[in-house]
């Protein structure tokens, strides 16, 4: 095969190319078709002596075009295929296909399966028996099957979320080859060394003897992995791994919580030649604690997923203090500095307003992993016992000394025995000077810290010089006395700072070293205060020894990953893991979460310190090929297409050469019209689509917005009924005139709005005439109206049916239908002391064109009767979003162009005047809110001021 991945299915047709020179000659000889012109004096031409008649040769480019056209057709007929299917291992005997289906194979599993399928198809064509081995599945005896059966099996083989254990299959493979002397092997490898790939290859080679071995592997890349996720104090990091020391590469790592909600995304950048990169998530600690899953975006393999359990969460630390009344002066509180020092890296819980014992018990109830006791002397027996059990179970207890501790008897919760009382350094009567911090013990957790030179200690509690004291000292003062001691107790630890948590005894809490020291101590805390949460209560009762036994030894799987890194229900083969988890996944313990959701452990595909390496096949006698089989693409259609284009070009050229341009010129007008029509058609075709798209977008009508906002305007909702709308418009015009002439408000002309389309927020008041056949609002419109009312708009619904007697107004069926689904507050007829009656005019009732219809407003919060009695007006804080009447205000307000009323009122013209006053009051009410309600108090206030 040539270097190009191109093959011809009918190569002998290429012989047709030999005809090209002949065609070239032929084309050279054939002159182009002449232009035909009418020429009356043609007869005269008969007598013309043609002097030198060299025929017009075909232009070279046209010749080239035609030759290319013919060559294209010849090539196309030879059925060229791009990426022809690679040849399967040749041979006649049985074929063993070993298929890697570990996590590295998951990302391009389809390609691998297709590769195996191709091999199967080839074997089927050759009539060979086949044995298919999935290397990540448990080893078992290998039997020969037909290719068809093997294909069935191949379909159910799925990538596993673990590294394949290839060595386990070697014995069965050796047996197989011993039984079938003419068998060959095809190994579709995932390209990674993980799972002892080279050893497997060598074993396979040895088992085959002289027979050929074919290895398919992706020569350019392999799967990417994630390992070693760590929730550090400052950030969350995870190592991204790759097997190739290749050029720079960036992978995106996504963090999501237990429910799969993404929490953050960051990039890990592989440097040139680096096989490891670090992705750092700078997230708040709360968010970092929620991270349950880190994955490389788009990797689709279990190896690129890191699961994080509660062990990697940031610790919550409870701070309790023996001092009382701390909160009044926080800077003096013993817990102040501890809290501030812990805050950067831990979740500090403080016990406020309760005693130390209660605080400790509540911390234990919250199952905190670490508790700080600042100068707590004695605890209640119950709290003491539970605290001890908690420490035995893995809690970290950090204590600070102080007068109370110094005075208290040894309670067994200190790492060292303390002398009663303390000692004072540098005091007026002391000989010693304040002692600096001199060293951190090399075996203690503070060993990596540099010793600060600004820490001085003036008072401390002293440890009894027991035999084991030196082992427990983590930090010493200049005179060799311990400053910090710590000791392991059971699974937990107690740590004692021999100074107070505040600055009375030393300036340690003020130094930066304090933060580092606390961080190191808290890091020691087991990630969950009591991992066996369920047993905690019982353990506390029964004591530490029993508690250890009560812890379950194993945790059952709850959710595991499949080979592609997606969560699934645990497979039947998954077994429980030990309670302390596993470093990496095995076939029995697939990666995933084990145990209860809050206290479970996570098992990851890759160990925290894992690295990836490429499978090294050097020195192995095997034919290697690429695993990703590109789909064979027939090229012929493209060649035919190009040939057709060339033919069209040729036609155009011939046309132009034969004088078509002149013809075109003569008919240019018509041709142009045709072209325009065609263009128009072409443009018109996608036009409806485009229109549909633009229609989707809510059009922002700037003209409307300007019109509505350049002046304050009254607005009415167009009902669609011409007469109603006409009256509403005329009525609002009349009211507008009344407002302009009687009040300081000078509104613009009324405007009609459609709540379904127009922006309502521009209008303080919407007049909404309700027709009897009003259709209910659709959901979107309802939401708009609701928002309008919630955001301070007011709507005056007018059912205009008071003349028809009772049942009008708020009880109108049409109104109920219209308002169905709207969030309408409780309503009441406007009481006599409602601010509506005083907003501009003093009113007793609210007549419109009809008299006697109440005006319904939002019911005001009930004020007690006594207060209501001596207040002249009542108002809520805001304007009632809904006003409902049946009095047909617009009918009363409506004036014609000549300024005369359009409709008669139900009684007399005085009622119309009152209707105008009602309208003015309503507008003033909506514009000023409860301002007027406050204004009516002015006389009373003035009276008080005068006194």
Residue among 18 and 44 whose Cβ is closer to another protein: 44
Binding flag, residue 35, another protein (CB under 8 A): yes
Residue whose pair of structure tokens reads 């401390």 in the numeric block = 460
Q: Which helix (H) or strand (E) holds 519?
A: helix 512-524
Binding flag, residue 669, another protein (CB under 8 A): no
**CA 635 – CA 800 distance, rounded (Å):** 77
Cα torsion angle, 909, 911, 912, 916, sign: positive
Residue among 34 and 619 whose Cβ is closer to another protein: 34
**What residues from 14 to 33 belong to the interface with another protein (CB under 8 A)?**
31-33
With contacts defined by CB under 8 A, name the span among 9-17, 159-167, 622-630, 658-666 that binds another protein: 658-666
3-class SS of residue 329: coil
3-class SS of residue 468: coil
3-class SS of residue 715: strand
Binding flag, residue 61, another protein (CB under 8 A): no
With contacts defined by CB under 8 A, name the span among 40-48, 179-187, 189-197, 326-334 that binds another protein: 40-48
Nearest CA-CA partner of 819 in 883, 875, 869, 872: 883
Task: Provide long-range contacts, Cβ within 8 A and 24+ apart, for 635-638.
Answer: 635/6, 635/76, 635/80, 635/81, 635/82, 636/76, 636/77, 636/79, 636/80
**CA 364 – CA 2 distance, rounded (Å):** 75
**What residues from 755 to 774 belong to the interface with another protein (CB under 8 A)?**
none
Where are the extended beta strands (E) located within 174-333?
Answer: 184-188, 213-216, 225-231, 236-241, 249-256, 262-270, 276-281, 293-296, 305-307, 316-321
What phi, psi does 325 have (nearest 5°)?
Answer: 50, 45
Residue among 36 and 352 whose Cβ is closer to another protein: 36
Binding flag, residue 60, another protein (CB under 8 A): no
**CA 101 – CA 190 distance, rounded (Å):** 8
**CA 320 – CA 393 distance, rounded (Å):** 20
User: How many residues does this entry show for the chain?
Assistant: 947
Please identify which residue in 666, 667, 670, 910 interacts with another protein, judged by CB under 8 A. Answer: 666
Integer angstrom CA distances of residue 480 from 237, 377, 419, 435, 470: 39, 25, 16, 10, 10
Binding flag, residue 51, another protein (CB under 8 A): yes
Residue among 29 and 297 whose Cβ is closer to another protein: 29
Residue among 37 and 869 whose Cβ is closer to another protein: 37
Nearest CA-CA partner of 333 in 321, 318, 346, 350: 321
Please identify which residue in 52, 259, 689, 697 interacts with another protein, judged by CB under 8 A. Answer: 52
Q: Which two tokens stand for residue 337?
A: 């500095």
* Residue 863, number of CB atoms within 10 A of its CB: 11
Tell me the CA end-to-end span of the chain in Å, nearest whole number.
Answer: 113
Residue among 34 and 247 whose Cβ is closer to another protein: 34
Q: Which two tokens stand for residue 754?
A: 């459609």
Please identify which residue in 34, 143, 353, 512 interacts with another protein, judged by CB under 8 A. Answer: 34
Binding flag, residue 44, another protein (CB under 8 A): yes
Nearest distance in Å: CB 26, another protein: 17
Binding flag, residue 478, another protein (CB under 8 A): no
Nearest distance in Å: CB 671, another protein: 15
Please identify which residue in 3, 4, 22, 53 interacts with another protein, judged by CB under 8 A. Answer: 53
Cα torsion angle, 117, 122, 126, 131, sign: negative
Please identify which residue in 11, 262, 465, 662 interacts with another protein, judged by CB under 8 A. Answer: 662
Please identify which residue in 43, 259, 352, 944 interacts with another protein, judged by CB under 8 A. Answer: 43
Please identify which residue in 12, 18, 22, 54 interacts with another protein, judged by CB under 8 A. Answer: 54
Nearest distance in Å: CB 668, another protein: 12
The string over 363-383, giving b where at least 16 C-beta atoms fall within 10 Å of a residue's C-beta and e elsewhere, is bbeebbbbbbbbbbbbbeeeb
With contacts defined by CB under 8 A, name the span among 657-665, 694-702, 768-776, 859-867 that binds another protein: 657-665
Residue among 47 and 898 whose Cβ is closer to another protein: 47
**CA 612 – CA 945 distance, rounded (Å):** 86
> Cα angle at 261 between 259 and 264, to 5 degrees?
135
Binding flag, residue 272, another protein (CB under 8 A): no
Residue among 638 and 655 whose Cβ is closer to another protein: 655
Residue among 244 and 650 whose Cβ is closer to another protein: 650
Binding flag, residue 39, another protein (CB under 8 A): yes
Nearest distance in Å: CB 660, another protein: 12
Residue among 666 and 757 whose Cβ is closer to another protein: 666
Nearest distance in Å: CB 685, another protein: 37
Binding flag, residue 659, another protein (CB under 8 A): yes
Interface size with another protein, residues (CB under 8 A):
31
Q: Where are the alpha helices (DSSP H) in 656-713?
A: 661-666, 668-684, 687-696, 702-709
Please identify which residue in 48, 156, 779, 861 interacts with another protein, judged by CB under 8 A. Answer: 48
CB burial of residue 138 (10 Å; 0-12, 13-18, 19+): exposed
Please identify which residue in 42, 325, 684, 744 interacts with another protein, judged by CB under 8 A. Answer: 42
Binding flag, residue 59, another protein (CB under 8 A): no
Please identify which residue in 3, 49, 689, 898 interacts with another protein, judged by CB under 8 A. Answer: 49
Nearest distance in Å: CB 24, another protein: 20
Please identify which residue in 46, 572, 692, 945 interacts with another protein, judged by CB under 8 A. Answer: 46
Residue among 87 and 671 whose Cβ is closer to another protein: 671
Nearest distance in Å: CB 40, another protein: 4
Site map (CB under 8 A) of another protein, residues 148-167, x = contact: --------------------
Nearest distance in Å: CB 48, another protein: 4
With contacts defined by CB under 8 A, name the span among 37-45, 351-359, 667-675, 807-815 that binds another protein: 37-45
Q: Which two tokens stand for residue 297?
A: 């975006």
3-class SS of residue 785: helix
Please identify which residue in 1, 4, 45, 467 interacts with another protein, judged by CB under 8 A. Answer: 45
Where are the extended beta strands (E) located within 322-392?
Answer: 347-350, 370-374
Residue among 55 and 688 whose Cβ is closer to another protein: 55
Nearest distance in Å: CB 650, another protein: 17
Q: Which two tokens stand for residue 139?
A: 């080893």
Residue among 665 and 680 whose Cβ is closer to another protein: 665
DSSP category for residue 92: S
What are the residues binding another protein (CB under 8 A)? Answer: 31-56, 657, 659, 662, 665-666
């Amino acid at each position: 095969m040539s270097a190009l991945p191109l093959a011809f299915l009918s190569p002998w047709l290429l012989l047709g190319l030999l005809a090209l020179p002949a065609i070239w000659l032929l084309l050279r000889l054939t002159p182009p078709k002449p232009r035909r012109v009418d020429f009356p004096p043609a007869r005269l031409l008969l007598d013309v002596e043609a002097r030198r008649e060299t025929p017009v040769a075909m232009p070279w480019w046209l010749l080239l075009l035609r030759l290319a056209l013919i060559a294209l057709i010849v090539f196309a007929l030879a059925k060229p295929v791009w990426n022809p299917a690679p040849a399967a291992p040749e041979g006649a005997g049985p074929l063993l296909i070993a298929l890697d289906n570990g996590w590295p194979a998951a990302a391009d599993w389809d390609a691998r399966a297709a590769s195996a399928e191709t091999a199967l198809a080839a074997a089927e064509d050759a009539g060979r028996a086949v044995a298919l081995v999935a290397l990540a599945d448990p080893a078992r005896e290998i039997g020969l099957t037909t290719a068809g059966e093997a294909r069935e099996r191949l379909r159910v083989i799925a990538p596993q979320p673990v590294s394949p254990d290839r060595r386990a299959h070697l014995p069965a493979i050796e047996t197989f080859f011993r039984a079938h002397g003419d068998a060959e092997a095809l190994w579709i490898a995932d390209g990674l060394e993980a799972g002892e790939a080279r050893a497997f290859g060598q074993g396979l080679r040895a088992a085959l003897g002289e027979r050929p071995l074919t290895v398919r592997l992706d020569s350019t890349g392999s799967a990417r992995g994630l390992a070693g996720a760590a929730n550090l104090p400052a950030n969350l990091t995870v190592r991204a791994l790759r097997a190739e020391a290749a050029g720079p590469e960036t992978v995106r790592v996504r963090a999501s919580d237990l429910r799969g909600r993404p929490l953050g995304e960051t990039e890990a950048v592989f440097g040139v030649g680096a096989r490891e990169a670090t992705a750092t998530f700078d997230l708040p600690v709360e968010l970092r604690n929620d991270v349950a899953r880190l994955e490389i975006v788009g990797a689709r393999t279990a190896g690129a997923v890191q699961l994080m359990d509660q062990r990697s969460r940031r610790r919550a630390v409870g701070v309790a203090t023996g001092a009382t009344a701390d909160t009044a002066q926080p800077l003096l509180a013993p817990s102040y500095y501890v809290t501030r020092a812990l805050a950067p890296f831990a979740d500090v819980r403080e016990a406020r307003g309760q005693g130390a014992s209660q605080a400790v018990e509540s911390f234990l109830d919250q199952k905190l992993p670490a508790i700080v006791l600042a100068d707590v002397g004695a605890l209640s027996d119950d709290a003491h016992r539970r605290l001890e059990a908690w420490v035995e179970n893995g809690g970290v207890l950090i204590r600070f000394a102080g007068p109370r501790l110094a005075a208290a008897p040894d309670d067994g919760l200190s790492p060292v025995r303390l002398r009663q009382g303390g000692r004072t350094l540098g005091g007026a009567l002391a000989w010693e000077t304040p002692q600096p911090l001199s060293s951190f013990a090399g075996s203690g957790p503070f060993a990596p810290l540099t010793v600060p030179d600004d820490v001085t200690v003036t008072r401390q509690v002293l440890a009894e010089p027991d035999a084991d004291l030196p082992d427990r000292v983590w930090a010493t003062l200049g005179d060799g006395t311990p400053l910090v001691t710590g000791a392991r107790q059971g699974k937990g630890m107690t740590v004692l700072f021999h100074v107070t948590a505040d600055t009375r005894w030393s300036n340690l809490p003020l130094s930066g070293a304090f933060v580092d020291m606390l961080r190191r101590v808290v890091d020691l805390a087991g990630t969950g205060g009591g991992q066996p949460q369920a047993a905690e209560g019982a353990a506390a009762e029964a004591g530490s020894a029993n508690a250890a036994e009560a812890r379950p030894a194993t945790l059952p799987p709850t959710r595991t990953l499949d080979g592609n890194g997606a969560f699934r229900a645990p497979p039947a083969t998954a077994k429980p893991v030990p309670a302390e988890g596993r470093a990496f996944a095995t076939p029995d313990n697939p990666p995933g979460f084990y145990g209860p959701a809050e206290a479970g452990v996570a098992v990851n595909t890759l160990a925290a310190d894992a690295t990836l390496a490429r499978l090294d096949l050097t020195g192995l006698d095997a034919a290697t090929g690429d695993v990703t089989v590109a789909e064979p693409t027939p090229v012929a259609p493209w060649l035919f297409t190009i040939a057709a284009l060339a033919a069209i070009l040729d036609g155009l050229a011939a046309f132009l050469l034969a004088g078509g341009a002149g013809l075109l010129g003569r008919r240019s007008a018509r041709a142009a019209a045709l072209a325009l029509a065609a263009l128009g058609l072409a443009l018109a075709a996608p036009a409806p689509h485009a229109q549909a798209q633009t229609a989707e977008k809510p059009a922002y009508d700037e003209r409307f917005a300007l019109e509505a906002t350049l002046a304050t305007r009254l607005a009415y909702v167009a009902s669609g009924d011409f007469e109603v709308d006409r009256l509403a418009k005329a009525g609002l015009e009349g009211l507008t005139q009344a407002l302009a002439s009687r009040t300081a408000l000078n509104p613009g002309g009324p405007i009609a709005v459609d709540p379904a389309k127009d922006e309502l927020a521009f209008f303080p008041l919407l007049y909404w005439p309700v027709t009897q056949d009003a259709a209910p609002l659709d959901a979107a419109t309802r939401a708009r109206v609701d928002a309008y009312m919630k955001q301070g708009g007011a709507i005056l619904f007018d059912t205009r049916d008071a003349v028809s007697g009772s049942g009008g107004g708020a009880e109108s069926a049409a109104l109920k239908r219209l308002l169905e689904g709207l969030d309408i507050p409780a309503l009441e007829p406007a009481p006599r002391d409602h601010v509506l009656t005083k907003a501009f005019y003093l009113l007793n009732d609210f007549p419109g064109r009809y008299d006697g219809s109440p005006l319904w407003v939002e019911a005001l919060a009930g004020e007690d009767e006594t207060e209501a009695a001596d207040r002249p007006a009542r108002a809520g804080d805001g304007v009632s979003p809904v006003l409902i009447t049946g009095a047909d205000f617009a009918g009363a307000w409506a004036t014609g162009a000549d300024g005369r009323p359009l409709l008669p009122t139900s009684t007399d013209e005085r009622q119309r005047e009152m209707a105008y006053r009602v309208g003015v009051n309503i507008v003033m009410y909506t514009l000023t809110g409860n301002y007027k309600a406050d204004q009516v108090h002015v006389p009373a206030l003035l009276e008080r001021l005068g006194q």
